[in-house]
Amino acid sequence: MRRSREALRSIPAVVLGGTGYVAGELLRLIAGHPNFSLAGIMSDSRPGEPVAAAFPHLASAFPHESFKSQAQIETIVEREQATAIFSAAPHGAAATLIDALLLKAEGAGRAPHVVDISADFRFRSATAYEAVYRHAHGAPARLAAFSCAVPEQLRELLTPHVAHPGCFATATLLACVPLLAMGLTTPELFVAAVTGSTGSGRKPSDGTHHPTRHADLYAYSALAHRHAPEIKACALAATGIEAQVAFVPHSGPFARGIHATVQATLRTARDSAQILGALREYYAGSPFVRVSDAAPRVKEVAGSNYAQLSAVSDGRTAAVMCAIDNLNKGAAGGAVQWMNRLYGLPETSGLTAPAPGWT
């Protein structure tokens, strides 16, 4: 049987973000993707060093790949007609780097797509970004070229680039946007979410180092976390409703995953079955979102691009629970899902592997 044109298509991909956990997860997903092929991963601090030295678990996939400098990545985007640029660079640095690469590509008449996983393009204005992150935006003229949303909550993509919401925001938005969009609850949202230690990045600190977190659970930045404004902004974009978000994040004693619980007051009395039915209706046709009567567990999704949702109601309050993998659905997997859409590929390409189950 003749293979489809999509199956034969090969798209060069570059990864920005060096040796971080999200960059490593992007590499793992690209290694198994039917259409994206790695053209380069950038690390200005370690150019020329083997990728396998930073990510030993990827040695079989990239035995001869070395980190590239910014200049080498610029050469790739100038040479290739269309490059998939995945940015896992830190916020504050990503915008300037992406702008430099796009300038090189545009100067050569090329048309790459970018999916940024940092916070740099999540807000519609530089003013909104600067109010949260307390420094000037690195490329304010580029903001209009980016959409920011969870893939399941933006049906029509009108921009050439995408900013993927953060992992906390992804889990929370998956839980709360249907409630708001379908007019089920008032817009006051109370969120408690627990994240694994990989969400804090590769460099340990006193508050994030896994031996410190092991067998412990504690809240941090309660009602003052910087992702709360991002949740609010994305909820507004998805529903047209300005929600109030009371967000309390927690550090959990596991490596991968996020479990979020969103509570809101129902406008009219509805039971648990009705809330579950509304979630199933909203996510009908969304292959990565599963709605279950049973409470979601992190182990059911860790290591995968799937989200598990459930809900309960006492007739006055709805509580929606969501479990995702922070590195995959909340970052690298969501980015690949977006890039699939940007290049007209099936949204599920390279992302349907189930969770391992015993992480």
Residue 149 DSSP class: S
Of the candidates 19, 7, 10, the one whose C-alpha atom is nearest the C-alpha of residue 58 is 19
Predicted confidence at residue 359, as pLDDT, reads 77
d(CA 298, CA 283): 20
State which fold the 5-148 domain adopts. Answer: Rossmann fold (3.40.50)
Looking at the DSSP assignment, which residues form a beta bridge with residue 318? 264, 313
d(CA 245, CA 231): 8
d(CA 288, CA 272): 22
d(CA 142, CA 176): 29
d(CA 299, CA 324): 9
Please check whether the two domains, 5-148 and 167-326, share a CATH topology: no
For 36, phi then psi, to 5°, come to -90, 135
d(CA 21, CA 90): 12
* Domain boundaries of the chain, sorted by first residue: 5-148, 167-326
Q: Which residues are catalytic?
A: 167
167-326 maps to CATH 1.10.3720.10: no
pLDDT tens string, the chain, 359 residues long: the values are 333 444 457 999 999 998 999 999 999 999 999 999 999 999 988 889 999 999 999 999 999 999 999 999 999 999 999 999 999 999 999 999 999 999 999 999 999 999 999 999 999 999 999 999 999 999 999 999 999 999 999 999 999 999 999 999 999 999 999 999 999 999 999 999 999 988 877 676 776 777 788 899 999 999 999 999 999 999 999 999 999 999 999 999 999 999 999 999 999 999 999 999 999 999 999 999 999 999 999 999 999 999 999 999 999 999 999 999 999 999 999 999 999 999 999 999 999 999 999 87
